Structure 1
Amino acid sequence: MKYVVTGATGHLGRQVVAQLMQLTAPTTITLGVHTPAKAADLAALGMAVQPLDYQDPTSVRAVLTGADVAIYIPSKSHTSFSRVQEFENVVTAAEAARVGHFLVMGFIADQATNPFDLSAFYGYVPRRLAETDLSYTILRNALYADPLVPYLPELIARGNVIYPMGDASLSFISLAESAAAFAKVAVTPQLWTHLSYTLTQERSYTMPALARVLSQVAQAPIGYAPVTLQQFADLYNEGNEGHMLASMYAGGAQGLLATVTADFRRIMGRPAQSLPDFLTAQLAAGDNGAKH
């Protein structure tokens, strides 16, 4: 078998590769990466590393050629239009390369009424795949729980969670558990019969409930005092991501980020780690990921 992972040096990509290595030999794994030098450590383990430019169809097809299973992890571009262009190149290449099975990262903010800046892309993905003759599975992630860990010091200083969510709930999954599910589906053809899975923990959290969890794990009082969407965008506009982040919580305030399923349990045969257990373990390990 030949397994191809695109975006393999990103936050999720590296964890997918780490999980996949536990289920198949490194020599069966090919990595498509924008900067091959960043994958030198993985190449040293026996994986093939190929340069990949999502905007270059020839490059994408070269990486996907011969793939029995290809795992597509999108770039971090901030507009649906650029991501759709990228996805068109990848889908076209996957069809031309006759990829055996195509795994695609999705996100729960894909509803037609969702104001999230990237909802059009995530909504486009299943419709575009349905047009193809590809065998495919979409793995829709809930919000990543990981950014809550480095965000805690700011929340402790503020004394409040400030997400502009009103009474709505958020659902989470960790990067590691998302990656574990990707790897398990990749090597388990019996799981390919489902066109889509939604990866979540087994409950969602209103903002007061989330504040209670964060207070418990941080051992500090944290309440809930939401800012406005514009204030949130202004506060977290590093890398011009402010509007995108605010638009995500605008969808969340409509209840569109609260999905909870048992799909992770169906894939892995166990429940996803709870949010309190995840945060406690990460704090004990001294995790330092990205914010928000």
Structure 2
Amino acid sequence: MKFVVTGATGHLGSQIVQQLAQRVAATDITLGVHTPAKAASFADQGMTVLPLDYGDQGSIVASLTDADVAIYVPSKSHDSFSRVTEFEHVIAAAEQAQVGHLIVMGFIADQATNPFDLSAFYGYVPRRLASSGLSYTILRNALYADPLVPYLPELIERKNVIYPMGDASLSFISLAESAAVFAEVATRPELWTQSMYTLTQERSYTMPALAQVLQNVSGQPIGYAPVTLSEFEKMYDQGNEGHMLASMYAGGAQGLLATVTDDFKTIMGRPAQTLPDFLAQELAK
């Protein structure tokens, strides 16, 4: 079988490739990447690396041609219009290339009432796929737990978690465990009978509970003192991401980022790693 992974040099994509290589031969894997030089280590393992520009329909078709399974990881753009346009190019290319099965990254902030800047894109994904002629699976991720690790020193300095979340909860999954599910679903066609899975740990966390976890793993006092959404936007506007991040927590404050499911266990045969165990493991490295 031929497996194609787009966005293969990104944070999630690179881990999907590593997980996939544990399940199939490297020669069965093709990577569509914006900068092929960044995938040199994968090419050295025997994988095929092709240039892919989401704005160039021909390059997408070339990457997806003869794919039995294609895994689409969206580019890191900050608005729904750009991502929907990109996704339309991928859908058209997948149909033209006659991809056997398409696996698409989703996110739990896809509700119609969610103010998150990218919720329109994530809500569009299942509707657009349903109207296509493709065989597909959507894997909806909870929030990635990984950014909490480099963020921890700032929280220790502040002595508080500051997310503007009120009494609402957040649900998490790690990049590594998400990637493992992508590879597992890609290589097990019996899982394709369900069109959507949601990848979360077994519980969500209110902000005081999250602060307690961070305090326990760091050994430093950390409480909860939220800032306002506008303050949060100004504080984290590096790369013009402030509004997007604040809008995500605006949705979170409405309880729209608290989803918890058993889908990870259904696919992997075990529960997802807990947040305390994940953080302790990462901090011990």
TM-score (norm 1): 0.97
| 1:33 maps to amino acid | V
Structure 2, unpaired ranges of 5+ = none
Distance across 2 between alignment mates of 1:160 and 1:87: 38
Which residue of 2 is the match for residue 115 of structure 1? 115
Distance across 2 between alignment mates of 1:87 and 1:55: 10
Query: Can you list the C-alpha shifts for 1:32-86, whole angstroms capped at 9, x where unaligned?
Result: 0000000001000000000000011111111000000000000001000000000
| 1:205 maps to amino acid | Y
Which residue of 2 is the match for residue 182 of structure 1? 182
Equivalent positions of 1:79-118 (< 5 A) are 79-118=79-118
Which residue of 1 is the match for residue 43 of structure 2? 43
Which residue of 2 is the match for residue 68 of structure 1? 68
Q: Give the CA deviation at 1:207.
A: 0.1
Which residue of 2 is the match for residue 129 of structure 1? 129
Distance across 2 between alignment mates of 1:2 and 1:144: 28
Q: Give the CA deviation at 1:99.
A: 0.3
Distance across 1 between alignment mates of 2:96 and 2:269: 35
* Secondary structure in 2 matching 1:81: helix
Query: Can you list the C-alpha shifts for 1:166-203, whole angstroms capped at 9, x where unaligned?
Result: 00000000000000000000000000000000000000
Distance across 1 between alignment mates of 2:167 and 2:153: 24
Q: Give the CA deviation at 1:206.
A: 0.1
Q: Give the CA deviation at 1:154.
A: 0.3
Which residue of 2 is the match for residue 258 of structure 1? 258
Equivalent positions of 1:203-282 (< 5 A) are 203-282=203-282
Equivalent positions of 1:2-13 (< 5 A) are 2-13=2-13
Which residue of 2 is the match for residue 289 of structure 1? none
* Secondary structure in 1 matching 2:70: strand
- Number of residue-to-residue matches in the alignment: 285
Does 2:18 correspond to 1:18?
yes
* Secondary structure in 2 matching 1:134: coil
Which residue of 2 is the match for residue 77 of structure 1? 77
Equivalent positions of 1:142-221 (< 5 A) are 142-221=142-221
Q: Give the CA deviation at 1:29.
A: 0.2
TM-score (norm 2): 1.00
Distance across 2 between alignment mates of 1:261 and 1:91: 28
Distance across 2 between alignment mates of 1:220 and 1:232: 23
Distance across 1 between alignment mates of 2:204 and 2:176: 18
Distance across 2 between alignment mates of 1:201 and 1:45: 32
| 2:155 maps to amino acid | L
Does 2:281 correspond to 1:284?
no
Distance across 2 between alignment mates of 1:282 and 1:233: 28
Q: Give the CA deviation at 1:136.
A: 0.2
Distance across 2 between alignment mates of 1:174 and 1:143: 8
* Secondary structure in 2 matching 1:104: strand
Does 2:139 correspond to 1:139?
yes
Q: Give the CA deviation at 1:133.
A: 1.2
Distance across 2 between alignment mates of 1:56 and 1:83: 14
| 2:18 maps to amino acid | A
* Secondary structure in 1 matching 2:277: helix
RMSD: 0.3
Query: Can you list the C-alpha shifts for 1:232-255, whole angstroms capped at 9, x where unaligned?
Result: 011011100000000000000000
Structure 1, unpaired ranges of 5+ = 286-292
